[in-house]
């Protein structure tokens, strides 16, 4: 075909070139790597004094597209390996390969139910539980932070919340409704949840970061249970494998669903004064069902003195169910005895911890970035995008 005749079909040619150019432009980072080499130069036949300069990426893309795509595949593969280098080295150096690979298998086979704590909402601008309780105390005239600090030191957040609630219930409810409202940008490890969870998610958080994220991804969480909220056939949806969320403490905007204080917890779960948990109640029943049918992955949770762990212990001690392995990504304790104590307690609950380091950042605060790196590596290995050898 005479190339000059292409001018007669300019509209079609322009459309094709526009699509090809868009595809080329979508690989800007890769193109920049190719263009680190000096551009190719050509003398003009019409004007020998004029020189054409063509970037390497342009030349390869428009002249040898198969070669361009081969180089792109290689570069993306190598970048994937490099991206996971720090997490891979840490897991191997800390001798945690076995736990990591079992976690990968659970992700690959769709058995994971993330159990999301306040640590995953922190990068989105929401407070940790301790921060929230102290902020409430600072707002009250009847009490001060000093009145709840002894309880905070023992991780007895439910009783600390009870003290605050009894002093000013309306202010506590108002704080929850306003402090945990939608913040905007969703960032950090929480953004990986759609890649980890195909069914159920459990969270202790009041905020809607998880729901908002899944809605943005076009995967809305249609099934839900908010604290003591009645109905909604949550357990049936759970058993059918539908995408759903269990918000253990309730939803910020619905005060009647809140399970925030000691009294509210005992009303929802039973178990007061050494009595057994009331598994006829919907909240403990749903949580037990998830515990015996999924592999929980605890993220952003401290797993210190926790009433939820007490419920899991009662299920384990009962010995009536085959319980799958559960996993927890936890920042490593500062001392070996503390780590051994915590690990022993978790293993009794069928929870296998995978510890990660939290070195101080530029501001002297613990750096939790390794948590996200380990999660990304686990997803990539589960999807066979990279090999863990």
Query: Across 97-106, 115-124, 160-169, 235-244, which has the greatest mean pLDDT?
Result: 97-106
Q: What percent of the chain has pLDDT over 90?
A: 51
For residue 244, the cross-strand partners are: 200, 223
Average pLDDT over residues 246-271: 90
More confidently predicted of 49 and 310: 310
Burial classification of residue 260, based on how many CB atoms lie within 10 Å of its CB (0-12 exposed, 13-18 middle, 19 or more buried): buried
Residue 164 has pLDDT above 70, yes or no: yes
Sign of CA dihedral 312, 313, 314, 316: positive
Residue 309 has pLDDT above 80, yes or no: yes
The string of pLDDT tens digits covering residues 326-384 is 999 999 998 999 999 999 999 999 999 999 999 888 788 888 999 999 999 999 999 99
Burial classification of residue 48, based on how many CB atoms lie within 10 Å of its CB (0-12 exposed, 13-18 middle, 19 or more buried): exposed
Burial classification of residue 137, based on how many CB atoms lie within 10 Å of its CB (0-12 exposed, 13-18 middle, 19 or more buried): buried
Closest CA to 139 of 100, 110, 108, 173: 173
Average pLDDT over residues 44-64: 86
Residue 189 has pLDDT above 90, yes or no: yes
> What pLDDT score does 181 carry?
84
User: Which residues are CB-contacts of 17 (< 8 A; sequence separation ≥ 6)?
Assistant: none
Any idea which of 300-304, 321-325, 341-345 has the lowest mean pLDDT? 300-304
Q: What angle do CA 376, 382, 388 make, to 5 degrees?
A: 80
Mean pLDDT of the chain: 89
Closest CA to 192 of 287, 247, 248, 116: 116
> What pLDDT score does 182 carry?
73
Report the Cα 108 to chain-centroid distance in Å. Answer: 16
Match 């936890």 to its residue by tokens.
330
Confidence tier at 1 by pLDDT (50, 70, 90): low
Confidence tier at 76 by pLDDT (50, 70, 90): confident
CB 282 within 8 A of CB 237: no
Confidence tier at 3 by pLDDT (50, 70, 90): low
> What pLDDT score does 34 carry?
87
> What pLDDT score does 291 carry?
96
Pairing outcome for strands 223-226 and 244-247: parallel
């Amino acid at each position: 075909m005479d190339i000059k005749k292409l001018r007669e079909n300019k509209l079609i040619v322009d459309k094709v070139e526009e699509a090809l150019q868009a595809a080329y432009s979508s690989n800007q980072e890769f193109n920049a790597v190719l263009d680190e080499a000096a551009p190719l130069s050509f003398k003009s036949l019409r004007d020998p004094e004029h020189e054409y300069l063509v970037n390497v990426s342009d030349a390869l893309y428009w002249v040898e597209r198969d070669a361009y795509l081969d180089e792109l595949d290689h570069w993306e593969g190598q970048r994937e390996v490099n991206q996971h280098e720090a997490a891979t080295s840490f897991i191997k150096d800390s001798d945690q390969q076995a736990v990591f690979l079992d976690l990968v298998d659970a992700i690959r086979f769709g058995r994971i139910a993330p159990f999301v704590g306040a640590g995953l909402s922190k990068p989105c601008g929401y407070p940790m539980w301790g921060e929230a309780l102290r902020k409430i105390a600072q707002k009250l005239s009847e009490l001060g932070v000093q009145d709840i600090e002894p309880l905070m030191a023992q991780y007895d957040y439910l009783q600390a919340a009870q003290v605050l609630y009894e002093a000013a219930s309306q202010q506590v409810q108002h704080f929850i409704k306003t402090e945990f409202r939608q913040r905007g940008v969703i960032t950090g490890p929480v953004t990986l949840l759609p890649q980890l969870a195909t069914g159920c998610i459990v969270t202790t958080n009041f905020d809607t970061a998880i729901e908002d994220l899944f809605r943005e991804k076009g995967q809305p969480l249609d099934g839900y249970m908010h604290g003591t909220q009645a109905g909604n056939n949550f357990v049936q949806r759970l058993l059918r494998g539908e995408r759903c969320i269990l918000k253990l403490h309730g939803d910020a905007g619905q005060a009647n669903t809140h399970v925030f204080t000691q009294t509210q917890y005992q009303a929802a779960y039973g178990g007061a004064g050494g009595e057994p948990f009331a598994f006829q109640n919907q909240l403990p029943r749903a949580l037990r069902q998830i515990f015996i049918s999924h592999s929980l992955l605890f993220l952003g949770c401290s797993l210190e003195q926790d009433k939820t762990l007490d419920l899991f212990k009662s299920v384990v001690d009962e010995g009536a169910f085959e319980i799958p392995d559960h996993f927890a990504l936890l920042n490593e304790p500062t001392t070996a005895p503390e780590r051994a104590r915590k690990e022993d307690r978790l293993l009794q609950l069928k929870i296998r911890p995978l510890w990660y380091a939290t070195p101080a950042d530029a501001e002297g605060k613990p750096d939790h970035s390794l948590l996200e790196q380990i999660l990304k590596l686990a997803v990539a290995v589960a999807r066979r995008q990279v090999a863990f050898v």
